Amino acid sequence: MKPGIVQRIFTEHYPTLNATRRLDDRSRWAAWNIRTCRTPSQGYHIDACPNGDYRIKLNNSCKHRACPLCGATETELWLERQSAKEIRCPHHQVVFTSPDGLRELWRWNRRAFTGTYLRAAWHTLRELLGDKRRLGGLPGAIAVFQSWGDELQEHLHLHFIITAGGLTAEGHWSAGDPSYLLPGAVLASKFRGKFIAYLRKGLTGEGRRACDPVLNPPPSMTLQQTLDLLDRLGNERWHVRIEEAYAHAGAVLKYAGRYIRRGPLSERRILSYDGERVIIAYAHPEKHVSDSFILPAPEFIRRVLDHVPERGTHCVRAYGLYHSACRKKLNQARGQLGQPPYQPEVEPPDTHELLHRMFPDFEGDLCPKCHARLVTVKVCHRGQSPPLQRTAA
């Protein structure tokens, strides 16, 4: 459907949801931004022709990470940065999935849980691939945390985009086998043990360093019950999927990049909305009997808000050769593969420049009289706070 359909659904049904359900500040702030994006509540900016021929006043975007109307330029900038430092070699995608039993612990420790999840997965990959019996080198990896499944239900998993090769301790590039990264059972077992150990440390404080995250048991469970849950999950089989390597990272980076800023779904997936029900296309229809599913509008809003990250949560991380602290090693690897050194942009491009990179024929920021590119000459930010919490009945 047309852009703005999610905003319309929120505008029409969020007040009812807020009146009947107790929502936290994270959800209310996201809902307010989605409802007011590109409206006077967000303030305005003035674009003017440098030759004095034209001026236009436009409402600001909210720039909230969960808003489907925003984030296109930020996503494009992220993709450009990743492509600029990409090592020209095949890349695997590894998907780590946590058991459903951990979802409640995540709900009450979103930021700490996400960081622990990512750290455990990276440490597992780093240790196994660093073994000289396997790759014997340090790879580069980009990791993305996602909390949703195809029907926007809670489904906690990680996408790791990792080089099929790495830099050895001696500084030599060790090329990996594009058809094989690691034995899946070994990777899943080691990850399970490491993740549970990190969660236990975060809950009990035993052996925890000052920089390690603190986790709290969910309100419905005692500390001992939470630890017993971890013990039970430690005896279950965990799922890790390793995909055969792509020729380069571009395609899989675009897949991951789609979810960095806009929330759990694109508005293009919304097939219809009749004022009460939302019909949504599956992102992976080949896995389902039908091509779409239906949600009542209030439930649609609840599921979208459920996946809004807690403030300060880093859902995308760079590790190994792709980490900013490893630029020297990154350039060593690039040099051995015939690539020039990576040099990050000193000044990121502005929104207008990014739009023209994304859409070469874009003319929305040109003066209608002289066709000069408009320049933002004034920005007035919002002067209104989101509405106060309404107590559920």
Cα distance between residue 23 and residue 338, in whole Å: 53
Q: What is the pLDDT of residue 168?
A: 96
Strand partners, 376: 47
- The pLDDT of residue 393 is 37
Specify the pLDDT at position 72. Answer: 75
Q: What is the pLDDT of residue 391?
A: 42
Task: Give me the pLDDT at residue 385, please.
Answer: 52
Interstrand relation of 140-148 and 316-320 (parallel, antiparallel or unpaired): antiparallel
Instruction: Parse the chain into domains and list their residue ranges.
Output: 72-264+311-336
CB atoms within 10 A of CB 107: 13
pTM of the model: 0.90
Q: Report residues of the chain scoring pLDDT below 50.
A: 389-393
Query: Hey, how many other C-beta atoms are within 10 angstroms of the C-beta on 170?
Result: 8
Cβ-based neighbour number of residue 326 at 10 Å = 18
Are the C-beta atoms of residues 315 and 159 closer than 8 Å to each other? Answer: no
Which residues, 6+ apart, have CB-to-CB distance to 303 below 8 Å? 148, 152, 153, 264, 295
